[in-house]
Amino acid sequence: MDNGTAHDFLSDLPLSITEIILSYLPIRDAVKMSTLSTKWRYRWASLPQLSFCDTCVSLSADKSVVESKLIKFITNALLLHKGPIHKFKICTSILQGCPDIDQWLLFLSRNDVRELTLELGEGEWFRVPSCLFSCHKLTLVELCRCELDPPPGFRGFMSLRTLTLNQVLVAPEAVESLISNCPLLENLTLSYYDGLDLNLNAPNLKYLCLEGEFKEICLEDTPLLEVVSITLYMNTDEIQEHFEHSSGCNFVKFLGGVPNLERLIGHIYFTKYLSIGVEQWTPPLTYSHLKIIELYQVSFEDMKELLVVLRLITNSPNLEEFQISGSSNTNAIVEAPNLEFWETECPSDCMFKLLKTVKMTDMCGVPHEMELIKFLLGNSPALEKLSIVPCIYVTELKVDMLVELVKFRRASPRAEILFLQE
Amino acid sequence: MPEGAMAVVKPEMKSYVWLETADGSIQQVEEEVAMFCPVICREILQKSMGSSKLNAIVLPERVNPATLGLILDYCRFHQVPGHSLKERKAFDDRFIRLDTKKLCELTSAADSLQLKPLVDLTSRTLARIIEGKTPEEIREIFNLPDDLTEEEKLEPLKNVTDDPRIRLLNRLYARKRKELKEREQRKNIEAEEEHVDARSVDDLLSFINGEDKETKGAKTSKSKKKNRRKKALLKECSNNENGDHKELNGVSYLNDNDTAEDGLLDSGPSSEMLDLMSPSKLDFDDGDIDDDELDPAMKEELDREVEDFARRLNSDWPERMQEILSRGQGRKLTPISINGNGSAQGYTGHQQR
């Protein structure tokens, strides 16, 4: 066909490969490929993944114009598309709730969509149409800024493995039943979620990420959970009051049934949350798989929070990495700290056999911080690196911190101590 | 010393397999390296092939000796455990510095050996080469045949990006074509000009540019009565077009076009979605604007504008396509001129009649 030197190698590639190449292109470029030659005409149209974003259309000052352009682009792309659509993704700040999205979703629900991501712009939230709940092949659902209201007869997504709800308005009971009705669910992310109470039943759940206002989180049935990342906001009066009167132990409710936990990340208020009722906690629970613990904004003045920290690390015999940051509230430095606490609460035979890395940030040099450092240094024979980043407000105490640090006995001859400033 | 001894012993311990490429050449390759390709691995494990030169593993046709060399380099690095992610990435980055022909061959060969990580790597590289380029650039880079008509090229873009400049160009193109047809009918002397339709925009334009002056006289005697209203509208349109044109010459012509487009989209008929651009449809469109009913001065002016705009669209076609296609990425901050907007309204009104 081609004469001599000029050979069209690209078009001669097998269809499976040209599909891979097209799938790596932004959809605009993929569509553009249609204008290359007869062999590339409408090749994009059978791509099983369609991903749309703001760059699909040109921006202009008039928002409604851009919005209608994007709507048209997506509608046309769906109309021109042929074959199955496995993945459909919209990430845009331009679009808000509009009737067209309902139609797209209806179209997709008839095309056995498997992965659906809808991330729309701020403004009017979009109500997820009921046809979404009839997409039985869904394995991944990511929704952002919308209203979710499963119909009464909804029996769950039998194949769903990943569910991400970010700023989604949904009733707490609806979330709980949605989650428990997805037997294969492995990844769950709820962010900006203000459901307050959450009871999780997800026998296959491995990854959990929660962010929002909560009064009670209870991991009722999550035996396979491996990674947990929690950010709690409990600064409203209602929540504060709830905690003052709450009975029971949050630690047990939250971490009582997760024997396979490998990584725990607790952001703001998480340690405080766990500390409620911690003194009642007696049964020795061992997290033998827990390798990484990260706790942020821990208040070293609160003995109950310290207890949480100690209980967690001393019950994780295979811990490899530990990261903690202080809440840098220097005003609250206690005059006469109760240092006996460390003698009574630290098991003398505790060894962190595998602990290699410790990172402590926002340290103020208060006695309890130094005690924790001393405890870790003295009981971690495999420690390789301990880094300390002092809180930016600490100035004159730094030297005292260093003097004390030098004194501490180290169980690991190889331990390197890094005192990082800024 | 023990290390040296090891080094001497090790090569002897290594086992080799024999591989035969489609051209008949046979070579000996470390087994562990070759095993990294699933297809070869299967041949060795399931069919016990490759143990001798006579029993060489025949590789798929798409693997030639040169690409096999590259594939083995890739396997040799990646089959060794212990490389960090960064090291692997650095190797890959260096490895794929190949010309596009080699990249295509390598992709195809890796695919035939089911070496998926390499297929992904080369495909991603090819995609990166393609991304953001104009069709012309891509055609040149990959030696793709330019075998689509201008209309066909516009069609998928029109459908998906619905760019009014493309619509506009089409209208201009159609109008010119009709005009040429008419001229041809009138001046039957030059009978050579037969298949006007088949010619490219470039040909048409050079034809127009060359012959415009001679033909003008033939078209001036027209009845003007019943089309006064139409004329007025056209005048408005042509003035606006004129405005457009001025801006086109200036720096802000693109942003002006943007507003023109916005105007069109505002009131643009949504039924155009699947409106495929058949010539009949274009002719019908063209009938809307009957050039022959214009007064000559205006006609001349309009002609000039049309030509100018068409030439502009045509001459820097690659760049323009690029701009059209990359709008939204590049020029987010260009201000909108009100003047341009006005012209857009004119166009819209014009178009909808």
| The overall pTM is greater than 0.95 | no
pLDDT at B147: 81
- Torsion angle of alpha carbons B218, B222, B228, B233, nearest 10°? -20
CA gap B288, B237 in Å, rounded:
14
Query: Would you tell me the crossing angle of helices B85-95 and B65-78 to the nearest 10 degrees?
Result: 170
Q: Suggest the residue from A31, A58, A82 to mutate for an interface test with chain B (most B CBs closer than 10 A).
A: A58
Asked if B81 has any chain A CB less than 8 Å from its own CB, the reply is no
Q: Are A202 and A182 in contact (CB under 8 A)?
A: yes
Helix locations, A354-396, DSSP H: 367-379
Q: Are A231 and A294 in contact (CB under 8 A)?
A: no
Considering only CB atoms, which chain B residues are within 8 Å of A75? 273
Question: Are A72 and B327 within 8 A, CB to CB?
Answer: no
Check residue B293 and report its DSSP letter: G
ipTM score above 0.85 = no
Considering only CB atoms, which chain A residues are within 8 Å of B160? 31, 73, 76-77, 80
**A304 membership: H or E segment, kind and range:** helix A303-314
Q: A160 — phi, psi (to 5°)?
A: -65, 130
CA gap A311, A334 in Å, rounded:
22
Q: Which of A277, A274, A280, A340 has the alpha carbon at shortest distance from A313?
A: A274
pLDDT at B326: 54
Q: What is the number of other CB atoms lying within 10 angstroms of the CB of residue A38? A: 12
Q: Are A224 and A260 in contact (CB under 8 A)?
A: yes
Q: Suggest the residue from A5, A37, A93 to mutate for an interface test with chain B (most B CBs closer than 10 A).
A: A37
Question: Mean pLDDT, 10 residues at a time, over chain A (422 residues)?
Answer: 60 88 91 85 89 84 84 89 92 86 91 92 85 92 91 90 92 89 94 82 93 85 92 75 74 84 91 82 77 92 86 90 83 64 78 93 86 91 92 79 88 90 72
Cα(first)–Cα(last) distance of chain A, in Å?
A: 66
Strand, helix or coil for residue B26 = strand
Q: Are A325 and A358 in contact (CB under 8 A)?
A: no
Whole-number percent of chain B with pLDDT over 90: 14
All residues at 6 or more sequence positions from B217 whose CB lies less than 8 Å from its CB, including other chains: none
Check residue B335 and report its DSSP letter: P
Q: Which residue has the higher pLDDT, B323 or A301?
A: A301
The residue-averaged pLDDT of B22-28 equals 87
Strands A140-147, A162-169: parallel, antiparallel or unpaired by DSSP?
parallel
Q: List pLDDT tens digits, range B238-267.
A: 444 444 433 333 333 333 333 333 332 233
Question: Are B160 and A42 within 8 A, CB to CB?
Answer: no
Q: List pLDDT tens digits, range B194-204.
A: 444 444 555 54
> Can you read off the two tokens belonging to residue A77?
């792309």
CA gap A357, B306 in Å, rounded:
72
Distance of residue A122 Cα from the nearest chain B Cα, in angstroms: 20
| Model confidence band, residue B295 (pLDDT cutoffs 50, 70, 90) | low
